[in-house]
Each structure stands twice: as structure tokens, then as C-alpha cells.
Amino acid sequence: MNNHKIGFNTAISVVIANMIGTGVFTSLGYQVLGMQNGFALLALWIVGGILSLCGALTYGELGSAFPQNGGEFNYLSKLFHPAVGFLSGWVSVTVGFAAPIAAASMALGKYVHAVYPSVNSLTLAIIIIILITVVHSFNLKSGSTFQRFFTLLKISVIILFVAFGMMHSPTFSISFLPSAYSFTEIFSPAFAVSLVYVTYAYSGWNAASYLAGEMKDVNKNLPKALFFGTLIVLVIYTLLNYVFLYTSPIDSLKGQIEVGYISANNIFGVGLGKYMSLAIALLLISTISAMILAGPRVMQSMGEQIPSLKFLSITNKNKVPFIAIAVQSAIAITLVLNASFESLLNYVGFTLNLFTFLTVLGVFVLRYKMKNMEVPFKTPLFPLPALLFLVIIGWVLVHVFMDKTKESLLGLLTVLGGLIFYYITQIIDKRKNAKL
């Protein structure tokens, strides 16, 4: 029997790797379409980081109260209703992990294609998903080692990139000092819409909660991994976007996916820049890996609690949910073949924020309905972190729905589809029980 447990180092690497991926290397190109002020653009990433820290603190409390695999599926089922928990699991399965895996693999393909045009970006994206799926389908120990290695490599390359970027002398002028116009942009609808890209880039701060049931000393390691992993990423994201803006004229970034490639060419020149672009592509392997590691644990948890989905809980001799891993990767490959990159970002950002909003709201339910429960970790400065998170994410959701209505409605349709599927499973299970 394999008794390997996830320690703090792997847990924090899962958080960091889930977060640092497609969003930070691609979304700035869309943000500068509606905003051009350097201070306001950096403020986006700082606000997004503070929001994620607030979310991480409240998830630490929820994970401490309910230390099982599954994340939001587990929390919302207990705090609201099994149907709400199912919907969060449904969203995690169809959107939360599969879509970012697709987006990260598509971005990886784009970065490699920018250097080697003969490489088909979609084919490469699919090959990468398949290879990493195989790595994580055998045992947790080898998957954890793979994850830690690529996360360490990711951080090392980013530090190198930032260091050289700060030594670069730009040929254009940009200011990061605040002005009256900066605050006009910060309180504009464009800032709210851009914040959905940022919250997508930060999504993953809750990743360790999906693995809580396989974690050593979960009451201590889960809150620490969530908080410190998010804090590290906040610093990295702010520095990276400073370098992107400092080294590349805003006009050259507008609407571009490969902002890291553009910046690398400006810092190192076209010759060396292409190798840094390949290094950025390599970093995305860590992101894809982290999501393929964490996401199937939601499916596994759903399979353990919903008889009609029992097949998703099947594990191999090493307790790895290999069927759930294969299903998630199949959905990701389908999205690679059928969705555009920008529509994926908006669709994922809106839909995920709906359920993180509900989950953070759940901490109030926990303290009211289960006030006698012994919870080892409590959210510091409660209720301020939770309230700040709810107010800003609520503001973002409203503006995104108004500005990106098509993608938002698609997200709501996904939720409705999950609700229909939930009641179908309930009917099937009741009939099975009646026959018994």
C-alpha cells in the first residue's frame, strides 16, 4: 500500500504552480486595450493579489473545518446544500481545471510556434496534456516530485527574467507614479473587466484545498500553503508586469497573447529572446501539471458521494484516481480543439468567480450554523478579509456580465446544465435504491 502524503513543500508548490501560468504571461495584452496608465495597470495586479490573500485566509479556515479532498465541492455541500456543492464540483470539472489546462497548453503552443513556426501549436498542446496526464496517473510520489521540480524551475526562470528586465534601458517613456488619471482608470468599468483577467491569473490560490485529504498535518500546512503561496505569487506577478510594461511599448502589447515573448525580445534581442520565450513555454508545464494533479481530486470526491458517478472515484493500487485524471484531460483536449483563447479566459474567469464568491460567503455560514464546531485555524481580522473579497468580486461579476455578456451567459448555462445533471443523478440513484 502506498502511504505517501503531501507535505508543505508540495502543497505550496501546487499553489504557486496553479497560479503562475497562462494568465500572467498572456492577459496584459487584453488589459492594455482598455487601460494605458502604468500605475493603474500595476494596481490591477496588487488588488488581485490582496483579494487572493483574503480568499486564501478564509479557505484556510474552511479547509481546517472540513479537511477532506474536494475543495469547494466539500465546503459548499456541507455549508449550503449538496446541490450547491455538486454545482461547484461540476464547474471545477467542466471549467475550473479543464479550461485552464486547455488555455495553458494553447499558450505553450503559441510561445513555441512564435519561435518555430513549423510547429503546430494545437498539436503540441494536445501532446503536452497527454504526456503530463500519464505522469500523474501512476502514483502520487512521482507526480509530487515532477511538480516540485518544475515549480522550482519556474520560479528560477522568472527571477532571472525579472532581474535582466530591470537592468534593461527602454527606448520609450512610461511612468508608474500615481496621477489623477490613474485613479480615474482604477474606478472605471475597464478596471473591473480587466480585473477578471487578473483574478483568472491568480486562480489557483485555493488549489491545495483540493488535496487536503492527502496532506500531512492539514490544519497547519493547508492555511500556510494557501497564504504564503499566494503572497509569493503576488510579488512575482507585480514584478513581472512591471518588467513587461517597462520593456515593451503599450501599443506593441495590445491584443497580443505572447507578451512574455515580446518583452524577452526587447530585453535580450531577437536571438536570445527566442530562448527565453521557450523557457516561458517550459514554465507552463508546471501549471498544466499542477491542475492535472489537483483537479481530478474534485471528481474523485464527487464519485465517492454520488452513486451515479462512482466510476470517478476508482483508484489504482497507489490510490491515484486515474479515471478522473483521464476524464479531465479528455475535456481539456476537447476545449483545445474547439475554443478560442480569449473566450476561454472570460468564460473561466466569470464562472470561477461565482463559486469562489459563494465559498467565501460560506465562512459566515460556518461561524453561524456551526459555531460550536472546533476549528483549528480561524481567519485573522475576520470579517474584514471575507467582506473585502465579496465586495470587490461582486463588483467585478456585475461589470463583466455587462461587458462580456455572451461568455457570462455561457458560464450560467454551464451551471444550469450542472443543476439538471444533478437532479438526473438524484432520480437515478433513488430508483436504484427503490429496487434494492
User: Could you report the per-residue pLDDT of 173-229, keeping only the tens digit for each?
Assistant: 888 988 888 889 988 888 888 887 888 788 778 877 877 777 888 888 889 999 999
Query: 391: Cβ–Cβ under 8 A, 6 or more apart, which residues?
Result: none
In tens, the pLDDT along 394-406 reads: 988 888 888 888 8
DSSP sequence for 183-249:
HHHHTSHHHHHHHHHHHHHHTTTTGGGGGGGGBTTHHHHHHHHHHHHHHHHHHHHHHHHHHHHHHS-
DSSP state of 6: B
| pLDDT for the residue 352 | 83
Number of domains in the chain: 1
- pTM of the predicted structure, to 2 decimals: 0.80
Q: Is residue 103 part of a domain?
A: yes
CA pair distance 330, 292, nearest whole angstrom: 11
Do residues 259 and 253 make contact, with C-beta atoms less than 8 angstroms apart?
Answer: yes
| pLDDT for the residue 62 | 93
Q: Is residue 415 part of a domain?
A: yes
Low-confidence ranges of the chain (pLDDT < 50): 1-2
Q: At what angle do helices 98-115 and 341-369 cross, to 10 degrees?
A: 150
Question: Locate cell 501560468: which residue?
Answer: 21
DSSP state of 215: B
Range of the domain at 337: 8-426
Q: Is residue 243 part of a domain?
A: yes
How many angstroms from the chain centroid is the CA of residue 109? 19
In tens, the pLDDT along 321-376 reads: 889 999 999 999 998 888 776 677 677 778 888 999 999 999 999 999 888 888 88
- Domain of 85, CATH number, reads 1.20.1740.10
Burial of 24 (0-12, 13-18, 19+ CB in 10 A): buried
Grid cell digits, residue 149: 521540480
| pLDDT for the residue 1 | 43
Q: Is residue 296 part of a domain?
A: yes
Query: Hey, how many other C-beta atoms are within 10 angstroms of the C-beta on 129?
Result: 24
Q: Is residue 203 part of a domain?
A: yes
Among 41, 97, 8, 177, residue whose Cα is nearest residue 348: 97
Query: Which helix H or strand E contains 136, and what residues bound it?
Result: helix 121-136
Q: Is residue 322 part of a domain?
A: yes
b/e burial code for range 289-300 (CB count within 10 A of at least 16 → b): bbbbbbbbbbbb
Among 281, 251, 244, 284, residue whose Cα is nearest residue 265: 244
Q: At what angle do helices 121-136 and 259-294 cross, to 10 degrees?
A: 30
Do residues 42 and 237 make contact, with C-beta atoms less than 8 angstroms apart?
Answer: no
Q: Is residue 434 part of a domain?
A: no
